Each structure stands twice: as structure tokens, then as C-alpha cells.
Chains A and B, each alone.
Chain A
Amino acid sequence: QIMLTQQAESLWISPGERVSITCRASQSLLYTDGKHYLSWYQQRPGQTTKALIYHASVRTDGVPTRFIGSGSGTEFTLSIEHVQPEDFAIYYCLQTLKSPYTFGAGTKLELK
């Protein structure tokens, strides 16, 4: 199965800073349609898990432009510019290229 590695378990930042969360796949997530099957999710206490980014770089409806997905092949990044108080949460990457679909271990954004 495809392994996804999010190396940082936690990242401590201050509001207003920029942060990058990385996700590395054990094999390329590029499909023959030219798209990468890598998505990002935000999990906040008491709220449903929210999809932020799909196909590595496409924001889902209503997601603020400060959330930026990038990367290709096996290396992907979720960047958050000017972090807001509501962004302190856990972030997961997910690959849906090949079954079994797999998640990264998650990165928790914590207030410095």
C-alpha cells in the first residue's frame, strides 16, 4: 500500500505567520489523467472534518485563499499564509490513487 509520511507531528506557530505542512508519498500519486490524487483535510474539535484541497492544489468551495496546496509526484505541501486563530487544528493528507486509501499521521498546528 502507499505510505504517506507527515514528518511533523506538531508545529508551533504564532497567528499571522506562514506555515508549511509536508506530506511525502512512497510512490507517485500522479494518475494517467494528469492529476495527483492527494487531498488535505482539517480537523477541529467539535466540527466535522473539512476537505481543504484536492488534486494536490485545488481548493474546495469556500476555503480561504490563504490555504495553498502544492507539490507533485511524491512530495506535497499545504501552506497556510497569515495563520488565523481558527486555523489551529490537525491537518491530514490522504491519497485516493490506489486502494487501500491511506492517510498521513496528521500534523497538529499549535499556538506558540
Chain B
Amino acid sequence: EVQLVESGGGLVKPGASLKLSCVASGFTFSDYWMSWVRQTPGKTMEWIGDIKYDGSYTNYAPSLKNRFTISRDNAKSTLYLQMSNVRSEDTATYYCTREGYYFDYWGQGVMVTVSS
């Protein structure tokens, strides 16, 4: 059974950094591109970016490119999202997804709240 489990969220102050993790199981992690998606409290979904199966290429939403970094450790079947200089508008639930022609599996999500 494919499982994606995110962690690392919580309450952070504006300007701080935060690193989210997503542990994958039930499939060969190193065979798949992976994406991060976030959902605002108002339920708007936004694609953050993705990473190639071997970690050699990343692609980001232009508005987030300068502050967010996606990486992976295939030996640990883990996907990461490094968030820097966070802002109140980064308050959202963050999901990791397995990517093919579409996003076929999603994690439960982890909440990030940015507030002073």
C-alpha cells in the first residue's frame, strides 16, 4: 500500500525557516517524480514544485521559487521542502504527492501556521 506521511509543520514566526519531510512507503520511491502542493485555509490548492526521481532537476511555481527548495533522499525514501523567510500567506496545509501523468497518491498533509 502506497503511503506518504508528512511531518515538520507547526507554528512559526514570520521570517523564520522550516523544513517539511515526507516519508514514502509501498513503492520504489526512486522511480517517481514527487511534488509538493499546499492548500490554504480557504481551500485554494497551489502547486509548489516538483523534483525528478533522481533529484537532478527541480521545478517551482514562479512565485515561490526564491524561498522554497525541494530535495529528496532516495536512500531514506524521503522528500523534503525547505521553506525560508516564511510569510503569513504561507499558512496552509502542505501535501506531498506522487507524480505521474497526474498526482496519483497524496499524503494526509501537515499544517503550517505563520504568525507572530
A residues near B (Cβ < 8 Å) are 1, 35, 37, 39, 41, 48-51, 54-55, 60, 90, 92, 94, 96, 99-103, 105-106
B28-56 near A? 1/0 per residue, CB < 8 Å: 00000001000000011111000000000
Interface contact A106-B43, CB-CB below 8 Å? yes
Complex: chain B residue closest to A54, CB-CB? B102
A20 shortest CB reach to chain B, Å: 20
What's the tally of chain B residues with a CB closer than 8 Å to chain A? 20
> A interface, by DSSP: helix, strand, loop or mixed?
loop
| Residue in contact with A51 in the complex, picked from B59, B60, B62, B102, CB distance below 8 Å | B102
Q: Compute how far the CA of A62 lies from the CA of B54 in the bound complex, rounded to whole angstroms.
A: 30
Given A49-B95, A103-B46, A105-B44: A39 touches B61 (CB 8 Å cut-off): no
4 interchain residue pairs of minimum CB distance = A39-B102, A103-B45, A54-B102, A49-B106
Asked if B59 and A60 make an inter-chain contact with CB atoms under 8 angstroms apart, the answer reads no
**For A1, what are the chain B residues with a Cβ–Cβ distance below 8 Å?**
62
**For chain B, what secondary structure do more than half of its interface residues adopt (helix, strand, loop), or is it mixed?**
strand
Return chain B residues, CB-CB under 8 Å to A103.
44-47
Is A55's CB under 8 angstroms from B101's CB? yes
CB contacts (< 8 Å) of A54 on chain B: these are 101-102, 104
B102 near A94 with CB under 8 A, answer yes
B91, chain A: closest CB distance, angstroms: 18
**Cα of A49 to Cα of B61 in the assembled complex, Å:** 21
Within 8 A of A (CB), among B55-83: 59-62
Give chain A nearest CB distance to B69 CB in angstroms: 16
Q: How far is the CA of A50 from the CA of B105 in the complex (A)?
A: 7
